[in-house]
């Protein structure tokens, strides 16, 4: 019997992990195409390309583990609320540990990328821009700056390890303990005055290796997710409105823009001739005329550069193809704006439910049961019963967030406060900008897991699990009562031994103050989306070569992009 149970459990694991493996290959192919699409062919570097592809792939693979986690905990139970024959305590623990180790590995790699690999490669290529710098100097300087990121990572892990004692608070209307939620409580370090410093350090590592390693890693990842939330508010919320409206409105005609540009060139040339005519009789130009002449000549060079790009775009096969596919773009734009409205409505209802029915800010706005249903919270548990339909929907949601985030980054650019650092252009993005881009997308994808929880909290916590509750039934004929066990959907009020919480939930919601910050961040996300929707509606059509007429180091006359349209 035990062998049959182990075999059944292994079969369930194989099904989930095979789908995950196929998706992993698809993710690697997508990341390679995506990074190659945006990197500059003139300044491409092998190391920065590999770093960008790997870091983005790791984030997507981590998100792909979410539906596997939900699938495995859901498959341990029947729809009538009973556990399957093979799902005993040992097998359940084995399945949970397998997913947990997967998260340990992927999140550790993410920390390595964010705090060591990406910073080192970025600062290495920053130093490489200086022609007088040797490779040894580049490596030393890059290591010096990277050391600061390593110190930050160590501090986050240390703080997370010190947050070790769970808060077991009980609400008046619920039987559930808030299991695994932590606050700032120091480790109970032995008060033995004779203990050496090495014994104290050894004790700390033993604590990290037992139960506090999860807390330390969770705190570090939650900190990155919080930064990802800020990036999502800045870029994704705006991109959700900018992307569909840009598809619907399209770009200006290349032929019409070229005609306008030719008129501007003629006008500037006429002004230049007028100023130069003042010095025909040998008189020197005034300081004001010299300054004006210099500005006009710079303007003329920019217009001629623009003319070359417009001519290239007008005659390219890509422009003709885009013109033929214009009706399809409009359809996609309408579809994307409908999806955006679906997300916004679902997020609003979920946040409103937390505001009205949650346990409060000190619990991270946890909800005991769903009081206000939203479309995605109803749809995902239904799809989860037919694997891999929920996998497909989760993949669509993540890809949608990536494309809208990319649209927001392309429209806004990468800024440091009021200083614009980089522009992101197809086929023209420098190695440093590419690393910045993938770092931002990595953080946004990390936040996507919590965003999905905000949209469908019951799905992320328990999937399609049910549990049995006792219900009294009255029979009129016999005038008696009987007790009947009926299935009920698992929620935060369910008994701990009847419903298995996903490992994803334990990682993302171990600290109430992060959950509270995410809650307020969701309101900010909704506000920025509405502002972006108004701005996108008021803006006119984009230029077919938007950004070429500006002083952009990422754009070269020798490197016109056929994809600018």
Q: What is the pLDDT of residues 280-327, one digit of tens each?
A: 766 777 778 788 888 888 888 888 888 887 777 777 777 777 778 788
Measured in degrees and rounded to the nearest 5, phi and psi for residue 122 equal -60, -50
Evaluate whether residue 192 is within a structural domain. Answer: no
In angstroms, the CA 160 to CA 510 distance is 10
Torsion of CA 484, 488, 491, 493, to 10 degrees: -20
> What is the 3-state secondary structure of 20-88?
HHHHHHHHHHHHHHHHHHHECCCCCCHHHHHHHHHHHHHHHHHHHHHHHHHHHHHHCECCCCCECCCCC
Evaluate whether residue 243 is within a structural domain. Answer: yes
Which residues, 6 or more positions from 241, have their beta carbon under 8 angstroms from its beta carbon? 337, 340, 529, 532, 533, 535, 536
Evaluate whether residue 176 is within a structural domain. Answer: no
pLDDT tens for the chain, 565 residues long, are 555 555 555 665 666 667 777 878 888 888 888 888 887 777 777 888 888 888 888 888 888 788 778 877 877 777 777 777 766 667 777 777 778 888 888 888 888 888 888 888 888 877 765 656 677 877 888 888 889 888 888 888 888 777 654 433 333 333 333 444 443 334 444 555 555 655 555 554 455 445 556 777 888 888 888 998 999 998 999 988 888 888 888 777 777 788 888 888 888 888 888 887 877 766 777 778 788 888 888 888 888 888 887 777 777 777 777 778 788 888 888 988 888 888 899 889 888 888 887 777 777 777 766 577 788 878 877 787 676 787 788 778 878 888 888 888 888 878 777 777 777 777 777 888 888 888 888 888 888 888 888 888 778 888 778 787 776 666 555 555 666 777 777 776 777 777 888 888 877 777 778 888 888 999 999 999 999 889 888 887 777 776 444 444 444 444 444 444 4
Exposure of 22 by Cβ count < 10 A (0-12 exposed, 13-18 middle, 19+ buried)?
exposed
Evaluate whether residue 562 is within a structural domain. Answer: no
Evaluate whether residue 172 is within a structural domain. Answer: no
In angstroms, the CA 394 to CA 396 distance is 5
Evaluate whether residue 245 is within a structural domain. Answer: yes
Evaluate whether residue 547 is within a structural domain. Answer: no
> What is the 3-state secondary structure of 233-268?
HHHHHHHHHHHHHHHHHCECCHHHHHHHHHHHHHHH
Domain limits for position 28: 8-165+208-256+313-475+482-538
pLDDT at 525: 93
In angstroms, the CA 224 to CA 423 distance is 23
In angstroms, the CA 435 to CA 249 distance is 31
- Structural domains counted in the chain: 1
**Can you read off the two tokens belonging to residue 55?**
């870091």
* pLDDT one-digit tens code per residue, 398-440: 788 888 888 888 888 787 777 777 777 777 778 888 888 888 8
Exposure of 381 by Cβ count < 10 A (0-12 exposed, 13-18 middle, 19+ buried)?
buried
Evaluate whether residue 501 is within a structural domain. Answer: yes
User: How crowded is residue 154: how many other Cβ atoms within 10 Å of its Cβ?
Assistant: 12
- Per-residue burial over 490-529, b = 16 or more CB atoms within 10 Å of its CB, e = otherwise: bbbebeeebbbbbbbbbbbbbbbbbbbbbbebbeebbebb
Whole-prediction pTM: 0.76
């Amino acid at each position: 019997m035990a062998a049959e149970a182990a075999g059944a459990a292994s079969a369930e694991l194989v099904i989930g992990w095979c789908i995950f493996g196929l998706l992993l290959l698809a993710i690697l192919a997508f990341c390679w195409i995506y990074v190659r699409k945006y990197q500059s062919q003139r300044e491409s570097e092998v190391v920065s390309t590999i770093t960008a592809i790997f870091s983005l792939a790791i984030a997507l693979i981590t998100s792909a583990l979410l539906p596997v986690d939900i699938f495995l905990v859901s498959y341990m139970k029947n729809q009538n609320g009973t556990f399957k024959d093979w799902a005993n305590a040992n097998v359940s623990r084995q399945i949970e540990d397998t997913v947990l180790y997967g998260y340990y590995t992927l999140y550790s790699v993410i920390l390595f990328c964010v705090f060591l690999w990406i910073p080192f490669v970025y600062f290495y290529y920053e130093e490489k821009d200086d022609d007088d710098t040797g490779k040894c100097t580049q490596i030393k300087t890059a290591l010096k700056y990277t050391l600061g990121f390593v110190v930050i990572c160590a501090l986050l892990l240390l703080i997370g390890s010190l947050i070790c004692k769970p808060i077991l608070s009980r609400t008046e209307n619920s039987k559930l303990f808030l299991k695994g939620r932590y606050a700032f409580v120091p480790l109970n370090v032995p008060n033995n005055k004779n203990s050496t410093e090495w014994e104290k350090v050894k004790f700390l590592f033993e604590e990290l290796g037992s139960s506090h390693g999860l807390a330390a890693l969770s705190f570090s990842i939650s900190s990155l997710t919080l930064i990802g939330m800020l990036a999502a508010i800045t870029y994704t919320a705006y991109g959700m409105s900018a992307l569909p409206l840009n598809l619907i409105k399209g770009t200006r005609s290349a032929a019409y823009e070229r005609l306008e540009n030719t008129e501007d060139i003629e006008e500037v040339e006429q002004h230049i001739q007028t100023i130069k005519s003042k010095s025909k009789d040998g008189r020197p130009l005034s300081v004001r005329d010299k300054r004006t002449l210099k500005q006009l000549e710079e303007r003329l060079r920019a217009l001629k550069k623009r003319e070359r790009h417009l001519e290239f775009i007008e005659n390219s096969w890509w422009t003709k193809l885009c013109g033929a596919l214009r009706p399809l773009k409009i359809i996609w734009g309408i579809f994307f704006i409908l999806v955006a409205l679906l997300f916004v409505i679902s997020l609003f209802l979920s946040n409103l439910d937390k505001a009205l029915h949650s346990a409060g800010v000190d619990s991270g706005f946890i909800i005991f049961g769903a009081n206000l249903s939203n479309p995605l919270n109803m749809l995902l548990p239904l799809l989860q019963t037919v694997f891999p339909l929920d996998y497909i929907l989760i993949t669509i949601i993540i890809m949608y967030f990536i494309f809208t985030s990319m649209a927001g980054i392309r429209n806004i650019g990468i800024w440091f406060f009021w200083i614009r650092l980089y522009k992101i252009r197809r086929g023209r993005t420098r190695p440093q900008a590419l690393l910045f881009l993938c770092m931002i997308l990595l953080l946004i994808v990390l936040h996507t897991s919590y965003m999905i929880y905000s949209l469908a909290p019951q799905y992320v916590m328990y999937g399609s699990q049910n549990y049995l509750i006792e219900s009294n039934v009255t029979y009129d004929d016999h005038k008696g009562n009987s007790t009947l066990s009926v299935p009920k959907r698992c929620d935060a009020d369910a008994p701990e031994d009847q419903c298995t919480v996903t490992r994803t939930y334990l990682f993302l919601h171990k600290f109430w103050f992060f959950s509270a910050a995410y809650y307020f961040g969701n309101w900010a996300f909704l506000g920025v989306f509405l502002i972006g929707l108004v701005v996108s509606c008021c803006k006119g059509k984009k230029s077919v070569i938007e950004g070429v007429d500006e002083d952009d180091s990422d754009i070269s006359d020798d490197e016109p992009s056929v994809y600018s349209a």
